[in-house]
């Protein structure tokens, strides 16, 4: 696959690139240089209608294909993604600004995992046989929902497209995917790959656009299900609109997740995880553990080593394979992070390290904010309560287990949580008390496809990955089969 940054058209509908220059302009900017890489257009009503019609056609064909053959197509797509990992990773780096050393291992590869997993499991999926006595029985069948809509955030454009498409397509649905307007390029390549893998035209259409196009699609009567990855405010709007039309939803929303580091923790591991869970992808990850609660007995040692290790992170042009830390996705997102850093200082937290705009010599115009660590943070501060979605870690001190559990849960969010301790009894006791959908013991932010991923409370509904995701893209039909004559009183 050759890497062309400017696609042949803004949208991918019915197996081909299409354009409608009447749509609002979407400028695609490389965050490391601020240069414009491509100019796309937001979808017009005509594009939306064409995408829905084509997806409905494809879905009828696809639902009749055997699960084994559907799985084969998904697995072929996974293979093509792996063969093109280098080009897809470069594109992901241009779209998001994430370092190539991250995108080579975390994006297209994770999308391929998802397609392999659901492609492999779907033929083995079966319904229930329920004996009812007297020869009667019931059976259940898993049926597709129809055309599903995926709406993406900008941080993981390839992964989000695949995590939504894989269970949807495995279950016999078609998908229309609307990428974030900030990172619109990667999903187009996935659409090309599905066609090359043998999927019917229209099975996976990509429609570009701002929030209004997302809303138009959510409200379209041809859409049966909406899966959104985005912020809580957008989630409230999308879930509200979908509920009014009684559509199925999956909501993968924001977080302000806690990491609890007890006094018996392996400190180097806990620091490594806290750094990964705050600075990977320049902090732009929903499940990040942005509230790091450290036991008072090890707090100062933890902070000293954390500072040392944070200050040695190599910041620079994300195309350089040695670079460990890239720019933020946009100038606006950089400004949000810098503003929160000012808020943290004004609230009385101590900025231990980082937290300033930097201009690396190889990418002086990029949107870089150096990884920030605040200490002396208290629970009432905005930097400890609000999702920043940037490289801003808050370190908070605690003294007892009951106290830290109560403080960790005192948030509207419930996406993820992590705990570091050598005491296995405590690990499970604390995890059971944490209000979070996705938890880790002695690690952080690992999201293998076999494990369900998703949040509770305001962080969302539904799950991605694992067999559980299939339940959110299918519906059950129950069939009662009678063995004898109908016993009617009439």
Q: What positions carry a catalytic annotation?
A: 164, 252, 286, 464
On the CB side of 159, CA atoms within 13 Å amount to 23
User: Site for ligand NAD (CB under 6 A): which residue of 84, 89, 96, 180?
Assistant: 180
Residues within window 441-460 making contact with ligand NAD, judged by CB under 6 A: 455, 460
- Contact string 39-58 vs ligand NAD (x = CB under 6 A): --------------------
> Does 92 interact with ligand NAD (rule: CB under 6 A)?
no
Work out whether 103 is an interface residue with ligand NAD (CB under 6 A).
Answer: no
365 three-class SS: coil
- Contact call for residues 318 and 32 (beta carbons, < 8 A): yes
Per-position DSSP letters for 156-169, written without gaps between them: -HHHHHHHHHHHHH
Q: Cβ of residue 485: shortest distance to ligand NAD, in angstroms?
A: 53
# residues near ligand NAD by CB under 6 A: 29
- Single out the residue of 13, 338, 324, 26 nearest to residue 154, CA to CA: 26
188 near ligand NAD, judged by CB under 6 A = no
Q: Determine, following the binding rule CB under 6 A, whether residue 190 of this chain makes contact with ligand NAD.
A: no
Residue 17 contacts ligand NAD per CB under 6 A: no
Residue nearest to ligand NAD as judged by C-beta position: 214
Is 137 an interacting residue with respect to ligand NAD (CB under 6 A)?
no
- What is the spatial distance between Cα 379 and Cα 375, in angstroms, rounded to a whole number? 12
Of the candidate spans 72-80, 85-93, 149-157, 423-431, the one that interacts with ligand NAD by CB under 6 A turns out to be 149-157
Candidate list 116, 192, 224, 387; residue touching ligand NAD; CB under 6 A: 387
| Residue of 229, 250, 353, 421 interacting with ligand NAD (CB under 6 A) | 229
Nearest Cα residue to 158 out of 232, 94, 236: 94
Spacing of C-alpha 257 from chain mean position: 15
DSSP string, 461-473: ES-BSHHHHHHTT
Residue 438: phi and psi, rounded to 5, are: -130, 120
Q: Taking CA 456 as the corner, what is the angle to CA 450 and CA 459, rounded to the nearest 5 degrees?
A: 100
Interacting residue with ligand NAD among 154, 279, 374, 444 (CB under 6 A): 154
Q: Which stretch binds ligand NAD (CB under 6 A): 176-184, 274-282, 377-385, 398-406?
A: 176-184
**119 touches ligand NAD by CB under 6 A:** no
- Point out which span in 229-237, 359-367, 402-410, 468-476 binds ligand NAD (CB under 6 A): 229-237
195-214 residues near ligand NAD, rule: CB under 6 A = 210-211, 214
3-class SS at 86? helix
Q: Smallest distance, Å, CB 153 to ligand NAD?
A: 3
The maximal CA–CA distance of the chain, rounded, in angstroms, is 89
CB atoms within 10 A of CB 172: 21
Judged by DSSP in three states, 55 sits in: helix
Q: What CA–CA distance (Å, rounded) separates 228 from 177?
A: 10
Of 16-24, 124-132, 153-161, 465-473, which segment contacts ligand NAD by CB under 6 A?
A: 153-161
Other beta carbons less than 10 A from residue 245's beta carbon: 13
Nearer to ligand NAD, 197 or 249 (CB): 249
224 touches ligand NAD (CB under 6 A): no
What is the footprint of ligand NAD within residues 230-269 (CB under 6 A)?
230-231, 234, 237-238, 252-255
Closer to ligand NAD by CB, 76 or 248: give it. 248
Q: Is 331 in the site for ligand NAD (CB under 6 A)?
A: no
Q: Does 148 bind ligand NAD (CB under 6 A)?
A: no
Smallest gap from Cβ 415 to ligand NAD, in A, equals 6
By CB under 6 A, is residue 418 in contact with ligand NAD? no
> Is 219 an interacting residue with respect to ligand NAD (CB under 6 A)?
no
Q: How many CB atoms lie within 10 A of CB 489?
A: 3
Structure tokens at 35: 């240069």
Minimum CB separation of residue 271 from ligand NAD in Å reads 23
Helix or strand holding residue 405 (H, E)? helix 401-409
CA distance 383 to 98: 24
- In 215-279, DSSP assigns E strands to 225-229, 248-252, 258-261
Q: How far is it, in rounded angstroms, from Cα 224 to Cα 239?
A: 13
Q: Which helix (H) or strand (E) holds 69?
A: helix 67-83
Query: What is the x/- site pattern for ligand NAD, positions 285-304, by CB under 6 A?
Result: -x------------------
Binding site for ligand NAD (CB under 6 A): 151-155, 178, 180-181, 210-211, 214-215, 218, 229-231, 234, 237-238, 252-255, 286, 387, 389, 415, 455, 460
């Amino acid at each position: 696959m050759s890497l062309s940054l400017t696609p042949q058209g803004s949208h991918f509908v019915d197996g081909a690139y299409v354009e409608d220059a009447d749509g609002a302009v979407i400028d695609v900017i490389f965050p490391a240089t601020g240069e414009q890489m491509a100019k796309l257009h937001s979808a017009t009503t005509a594009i939306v209608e064409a995408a829905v019609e084509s997806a409905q056609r494809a879905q009828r064909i696809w639902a009749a294909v055997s699960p084994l053959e559907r799985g084969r197509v998904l697995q072929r797509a996974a293979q093509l993604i792996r063969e093109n990992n280098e080009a897809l990773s470069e594109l992901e780096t241009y779209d998001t600004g994430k370092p190539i050393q991250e995108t080579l291992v975390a994006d297209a590869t994770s999308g391929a995992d998802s397609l392999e997993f659901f492609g492999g499991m779907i033929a083995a999926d079966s319904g229930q046989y329920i004996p009812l006595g007297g020869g009667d029985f019931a059976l259940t069948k898993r049926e597709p929902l129809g055309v599903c809509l995926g709406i993406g955030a900008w941080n993981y454009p390839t992964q989000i497209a695949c995590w939504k498409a894989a269970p949807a397509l495995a279950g016999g649905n078609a998908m229309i995917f609307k990428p974030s307007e900030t990172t619109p390029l990667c999903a187009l390549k996935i659409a090309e790959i599905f066609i090359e893998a043998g999927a019917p035209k229209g099975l996976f259409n990509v429609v570009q656009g701002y929030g209004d196009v997302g809303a138009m699609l959510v409200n379209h009567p041809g859409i049966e299900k909406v899966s959104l990855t985005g912020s809580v405010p957008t989630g409230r709007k999308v879930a509200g609109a979908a509920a009014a039309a009684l559509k199925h939803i999956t909501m993968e929303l924001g977080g302000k997740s806690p990491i609890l580091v007890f006094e018996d923790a392996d400190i180097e591991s806990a620091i490594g995880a806290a750094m990964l869970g705050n600075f990977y992808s320049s902090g732009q990850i929903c499940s990040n553990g942005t509230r790091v609660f450290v036991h008072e007995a090890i707090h100062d040692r933890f902070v000293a080593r954390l500072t040392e290790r944070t200050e040695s992170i190599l910041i620079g042009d994300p195309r350089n394979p040695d670079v460990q830390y890239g720019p933020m996705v946009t100038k606006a997102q950089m400004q949000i992070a810098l503003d929160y850093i000012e808020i943290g200082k004004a609230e009385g937290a101590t900025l231990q390290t980082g937290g300033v705009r930097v201009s690396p010599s190889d990418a002086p115009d990029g949107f870089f904010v150096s990884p920030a660590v605040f200490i002396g943070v208290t629970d009432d501060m905005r930097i400890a309560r609000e999702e920043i979605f940037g490289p801003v870690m808050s370190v908070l001190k605690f003294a007892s287990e009951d106290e830290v559990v109560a403080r960790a849960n005192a948030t509207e969010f419930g996406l993820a949580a992590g705990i570091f301790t050598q005491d296995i009894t405590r690990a499970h006791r604390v995890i059971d008390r944490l209000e979070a959908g996705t938890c880790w013991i002695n690690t952080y932010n690992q999201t293998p496809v076999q494990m369900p991923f998703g949040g509770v409370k305001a962080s969302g509904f539904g799950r991605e990955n694992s067999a559980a995701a299939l339940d959110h893209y299918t519906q059950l039909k129950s069939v009662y089969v009678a063995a004898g004559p109908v016993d009617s009183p009439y």
